[in-house]
Structure 1
Amino acid sequence: MEELTIVIGGEQGEGIESVGEILTKVLSQMGFSLYGFRNFSSRIKGGHSDFNLRISSGKEIYVNAEKVNILVAFDRASIDLYINQMDKNSIILYDSKSVKSDNLPIAPKGVIMIEAPFQELASELGSPIMKNMVALGMICALNNHSASSFHKVIQEQFLKKGMKISQLNVEAFEKGYAFIKEKNLFSIPLVPAINSNKMFLSGNEAMVIGALASGCRFMAGYPITPASEILENMINMMPEFGGVVVQAEDELSSVAMSIGASFAGTRSMTATSGPGISLMQEAIGLSGAIEIPLVIIDTQRGGPSSGLATKMEQSDLTAMLGGTHGEIPRIIISPSTVQEAIYDMNTAFNLAEKYQCPVFIAADLVLSTSKQSAEILDPLRIEMERGKRVSDEELAEQGKALYDRFAFTDDHISPRTIPGQKFGTHHATGIEHGQTGHPTEDYENRKKMMIKRMKKIETVTLGEDIKAEGEGEDLLLIGFGSTYGAIREACEAFNKDGIKAGLAHIRLLHPFPADQLEGMINKARQVIVIENNYTGQLADVIKQHIPDHSKIQKLSKFDGRPFAPSDIRKFCKELV
């Protein structure tokens, strides 16, 4: 097979993450393209959890497969959830201790159900908790992989628990491997991979790597699903780069600290989710008013309020666009793959300093927590653009007691100073101010300052503001964020059927690339805007900028699950 999907499911706390981590590490080293999706509950232990891994020998993949080839079920819920997605000649391995063989649902024709003694074999080694490694051994045998390629990775995974525990986990793996081989079951091997060695990482991990590579040396954050991993990874990695990470008492403190560090000249960021964005809005307004660079990652999740903390939604767009009281400039970038997430962080820091304003990274739960194959970081693609900074020599030439930090300029961007620079003294206040920062209510000054702040971002571009693929003459599918994978595969299916479909994935959400999108919409016969929210927030933004709304239709999904390609095909078939 050129492609294979494996699902490992059970209760949280049963070691599903460890199985997925080891499996993906080995397969990634072999050169396979991978996409791993985590489905988990809002609790530390208990509640159903599963890891869905799609493996490809060749093409890049950015979404879950809709058919499952191997299901490893530690609980009954895994079988109930996935049995109707099992493909012909697929295999279900279920734990004989926790899943009773009587009264199981009837499997589709061609599906093989195997009662597997995960817990029993692990107990023979003295610890039933090692059933996850028994299951990993069975998966490896079914895929006809060499067992030795997994030994080293298993040992490394558990070495921190001691050599004895590490070796016992290898033995548990071997017991599972031998069980399948002794049963003489047919295997489901993959065509050898053709890709070079790649990283396999989540969007959260990618954004941390991108931030550190881009010179970020301060982060303040408060734990919140699904952004907590960003804070945790920063805490682990930042010391090696000489930076500082602070777990603040709340989100308001986090953003205020980040603004302060940025004011002092350090590249700074914070990361949160929807509830945190709500709490940060007043301080974000301060960043815009005093023209301080700030990078904010928003890993969108289900709302409102605490909502669905571990489920998918893209419903913060309106908050990012206009959540602050009053009007400020802001830039919103939306990565659609893990690869983009790395370099978008570099772009975000450069734009924040160039335009001296807050820059949002509009991530979402699926992008943040799912894992994808990505090319090794290319340091030559990392650029450092610090924006307009005044040197000590330039300040000395001016020789003024107070510096015109908010000076009116032709491009509306005022040169920055850093605290401590001689002749760089100025006020920094959220109250409306003149060129030196002193508060003023002068009407003409107010008008000029608003124009200065708002117009300075008009020249913002990512180079690729819209990621366009396909002709799109019959059908144009528009989206943002992690919906890219589902839209892309839906387009491929339509094109195979003779329908000229194309996608327009919005990478720069603000300032909005209206002229580019309008040209694409004008060429299409039907236009569908696909997004994970109820009201169609992206569709509404498009309608604000595109005068002809007659072709535009919304496809919304808001049940907490990401889009599948079949969701899009089913909706669009009636239109084309």
Structure 2
Amino acid sequence: MVQQLSWKVGGQQGEGIESTGEIFSIALNRQGYYLYGYRHFSSRIKGGHTNNKIRVSTTPVRTIADDLDVLVAFDQETIDLNYHELHDQGVIIADAKFNPAAPEDCKAALYPVAFTEIAANLSTALMKNMVAIGATCAVLNLDTHVFLNVVDEIFGRKGEQVVAKNMEAIQKGYEVMQEQLGSSTNTLKLDPADGKKRLFIIGNDAIALGAMAGGARFMAAYPITPASEIMEYLIKKLPKVGGTVIQTEDEMAACTMAIGSNYGGVRSFTASAGPGLSLMMESIGLSGITETPLVIVDTQRGGPSTGLPTKQEQSDLLAMIYGSHGEIPKIVMAPSTVEEAFYDIAEAFNLAEEYQCPVIFLSDLQLSLGKQTVEPLSLEKIEIHRGKLVNEDLPELSNKGYFKRYELTEDGVSPRVLPGTKNGIFHVTGVEHDETGKPSEVAVNRKKQMDKRMKKLKNVRFNVPVYKDTPHEEADLLMIGINSTRGVIEEAKERLEADGFKVNHAHIRLLHPFPADEVAEVVSKAKKIAVVEHNITGQLANIIKMNVGGSDKIHNICKYDGNPFLPHEVYDACKELL
């Protein structure tokens, strides 16, 4: 009996690899197991190697595993590219159709199973993935009936016969694999799960759901990996609550539409990746100078240019903080878990309206597309705050009938009215302006308006700007990260502490304005600091040095090959520092 295991299915993109992993993981999630799945796929519609690695555990997991217990291969390339992850007791289940062969240095056991032939004999070769699931059941000692409800949900609309044939394919794969195993010890059996019901979603689904819960009723976006699922989810769901989604001709149109909708009083946003954010920069400046609320989701991916559109990276940090021409108040957030993504995106809309500025919601490909078990989310924890929005007609004004939309205030935030508010008329323009919005190039006015706008950043309220797991007053090492590196850092920390080291962990959730005091506090308690991030220049480490200092004890642990960190990589790098 084992508490966790790692399973991977691979083949050519377009031959059912994703659905195989989906059926396998959903069934186990419903048994009460915790799962974490990460999909490696090519930036093309069909063809090219793809795989889905899924970690199954009786306890929570937030990252992929170092090694691999079971590899399901639909082609030889899958074996050649992934066998090195298998440990000595690992198992390869491969389609006999391609005469699979294990490399000489592979110590895992190889079992050919005629996925395609069995499926074709039953009904259609398309069901080969179900045969593979059945073979997996034999290796893992799983009851094939745990897949019945999932198969029924997916194929039920095609009729009972189709459901029955798919279940028959699973059972046949189980039987054929069991015959090969015989009395072999190459079987794995998981400890029983707790049976509790939990969500199994990707980060993008949590972002979309959180946006709805936070009051968003309009989204304008252009499809781009890895952000598209946010738009796809809301196309189905937002109209049910009176909302609208528009697919625009490009990212510039998406951003300006969101600005216009927010100006009209509807909570609105857009979502894209690095290339799309580059196109939005001028519009983000428009949001800043007109003090119009705006939420933008940036799901980071490999760059520059088209770069690695389906691979992991965290290289947009500096661009999101400093990218706009000129200087505007801007808030940049970075959730570290799927749960945080749900709650934080709702808070992003509050912050955008309370401080009347653009809010960049920074994710990364691993957080956005990694599918994992999530505890039930609570709508009761979400509150909606609209800031200084005037919801009533105004008294008649004496200053030529114009409302002071950009009034100089102590906190830098001016009263805001919606179009059509009685006596609330004002100018709105992208050029510098006075308190009523009338264009002005007067030096004194320029300074006052700049001071007013930037003053907002001194008072930004965010409940947990830094996640801290810092039990040690004097730590041997402090590990710092953002976004999806939280899970891999937590595992590396656990291993280092088992070695006898005192290790603290901080994950930064508010990048701008930077929570310097909180970060300085944890930095001061560590002898050495390891900043773990997915880019080549150490952008997060540089932001920390700029705001807090500590250059003498900050060390970079950077990965930028498009793949997520594995726990042993972070552990080994930190062990070397210590």
Distance 1:195 1:398, change over 3 A: farther
Contact in 2 for aligned 1:33/1:195 (Cα 8 Å): no
Contact in 1 for aligned 2:355/2:456 (Cα 8 Å): yes
Equivalent residue number for residue 103 of structure 2 = 105
Matched, 1:340 2:343: no
Percent of residue pairs identical: 48
Equivalent residue number for residue 265 of structure 2 = 265
Contact in 1 for aligned 2:218/2:269 (Cα 8 Å): yes
Contact in 2 for aligned 1:200/1:374 (Cα 8 Å): yes
**For 1:256 and 1:470, how far apart are their aligned partners in 2?**
42
> How far is the alpha carbon of 1:21 from its aligned partner?
1.5
- 1:554 counterpart (539, 544, 556): 556
Distance 1:540 1:195, change over 3 A: farther
Equivalent residue number for residue 143 of structure 1 = 140
> How far is the alpha carbon of 1:178 from its aligned partner?
2.2
**1:432-486 CA-partner distances (Å, limit 9, x unpaired):** 0111111001111111111111111222232211111144610111111111111
Equivalent residue number for residue 121 of structure 2 = 124
**For 1:30 and 1:195, how far apart are their aligned partners in 2?**
5
> How far is the alpha carbon of 1:391 from its aligned partner?
2.6
Contact in 1 for aligned 2:299/2:363 (Cα 8 Å): yes
Equivalent residue number for residue 13 of structure 1 = 14
> How far is the alpha carbon of 1:72 from its aligned partner?
0.4
Equivalent residue number for residue 29 of structure 2 = 28
**1:330-351 CA-partner distances (Å, limit 9, x unpaired):** 1111111111111111111111
Contact in 2 for aligned 1:470/1:500 (Cα 8 Å): no
**For 1:161 and 1:505, how far apart are their aligned partners in 2?**
47
**For 2:170 and 2:462, how far apart are their aligned partners in 1?**
47
Equivalent residue number for residue 156 of structure 2 = 159
**For 2:381 and 2:396, how far apart are their aligned partners in 1?**
36
> How far is the alpha carbon of 1:211 from its aligned partner?
0.6
> How far is the alpha carbon of 1:328 from its aligned partner?
0.6
SS in 2 for 1:525: strand
> How far is the alpha carbon of 1:383 from its aligned partner?
0.8
**1:351-379 CA-partner distances (Å, limit 9, x unpaired):** 11111111111100111111111112211
**For 2:468 and 2:316, how far apart are their aligned partners in 1?**
24
**For 2:139 and 2:541, how far apart are their aligned partners in 1?**
45
**For 1:209 and 1:391, how far apart are their aligned partners in 2?**
27
SS in 2 for 1:392: coil
Matched, 1:170 2:167: yes
> How far is the alpha carbon of 1:160 from its aligned partner?
3.8
Equivalent residue number for residue 39 of structure 2 = 38
Letter in 1 for 2:145: S
Letter in 2 for 1:79: I
**For 2:163 and 2:428, how far apart are their aligned partners in 1?**
56
> How far is the alpha carbon of 1:107 from its aligned partner?
5.4
Letter in 2 for 1:105: P
Equivalent residue number for residue 49 of structure 1 = 50
Equivalent residue number for residue 485 of structure 1 = 487
1:180-259 map, 5 Å: 180-183=177-180, 184=182, 187-194=187-194, 196-259=196-259
> How far is the alpha carbon of 1:167 from its aligned partner?
3.1
> How far is the alpha carbon of 1:227 from its aligned partner?
0.8
Q: Which moved more, 1:229-238 or 1:43-52?
A: 229-238
> How far is the alpha carbon of 1:177 from its aligned partner?
2.1
Equivalent residue number for residue 510 of structure 2 = 508
1:138-537 map, 5 Å: 138-183=135-180, 184=182, 187-194=187-194, 196-393=196-393, 395-396=394-395, 401-471=401-471, 473-537=475-539
Contact in 2 for aligned 1:461/1:508 (Cα 8 Å): no
> How far is the alpha carbon of 1:157 from its aligned partner?
0.7
SS in 2 for 1:457: helix
**1:292-318 CA-partner distances (Å, limit 9, x unpaired):** 111111010011110011111111111
**For 2:168 and 2:460, how far apart are their aligned partners in 1?**
57
SS in 2 for 1:114: strand
**1:382-434 CA-partner distances (Å, limit 9, x unpaired):** 111111111324x1365762111111111111111111111111111110011
> How far is the alpha carbon of 1:161 from its aligned partner?
4.0
SS in 1 for 2:469: strand
**1:103-132 CA-partner distances (Å, limit 9, x unpaired):** x303544x2210111111101123111101
Letter in 2 for 1:149: V
For structure 2, the 5+ residue unaligned runs are none
**1:497-534 CA-partner distances (Å, limit 9, x unpaired):** 00111111111111101111112111111111111111
Q: Which moved more, 1:13-22 or 1:81-90?
A: 81-90
Letter in 2 for 1:313: E
**1:234-258 CA-partner distances (Å, limit 9, x unpaired):** 1111111110100000000000000
**For 2:88 and 2:342, how far apart are their aligned partners in 1?**
38
Q: Which moved more, 1:395-404 or 1:114-123?
A: 395-404
For structure 1, the 5+ residue unaligned runs are none
Distance 1:145 1:101, change over 3 A: closer
**For 1:284 and 1:160, how far apart are their aligned partners in 2?**
45
Q: Which moved more, 1:150-159 or 1:211-220?
A: 150-159
Contact in 1 for aligned 2:96/2:112 (Cα 8 Å): yes
**For 1:327 and 1:54, how far apart are their aligned partners in 2?**
45
SS in 2 for 1:80: helix
SS in 2 for 1:124: helix
Distance 1:353 1:265, change over 3 A: same
Equivalent residue number for residue 540 of structure 1 = 542
1:556-571 map, 5 Å: 556-571=558-573
**For 2:497 and 2:461, how far apart are their aligned partners in 1?**
30
Contact in 2 for aligned 1:333/1:508 (Cα 8 Å): yes
**For 1:415 and 1:143, how far apart are their aligned partners in 2?**
62
Distance 1:85 1:253, change over 3 A: same
**For 1:37 and 1:28, how far apart are their aligned partners in 2?**
15
**Structure-1-length-normalised TM-score:** 0.96
Contact in 2 for aligned 1:350/1:384 (Cα 8 Å): yes
Contact in 2 for aligned 1:534/1:557 (Cα 8 Å): yes
**For 2:216 and 2:113, how far apart are their aligned partners in 1?**
48
Q: Which moved more, 1:505-514 or 1:395-404?
A: 395-404
Distance 1:77 1:101, change over 3 A: closer
Contact in 1 for aligned 2:113/2:177 (Cα 8 Å): no
Letter in 2 for 1:552: I
Letter in 1 for 2:26: K
- 2:111 counterpart (110, 114, 127): 114
SS in 2 for 1:97: helix
Letter in 2 for 1:249: E
**For 1:219 and 1:341, how far apart are their aligned partners in 2?**
17
Contact in 1 for aligned 2:312/2:365 (Cα 8 Å): yes
Corresponding pairs, count:
571
**For 1:477 and 1:114, how far apart are their aligned partners in 2?**
42
Distance 1:470 1:139, change over 3 A: farther
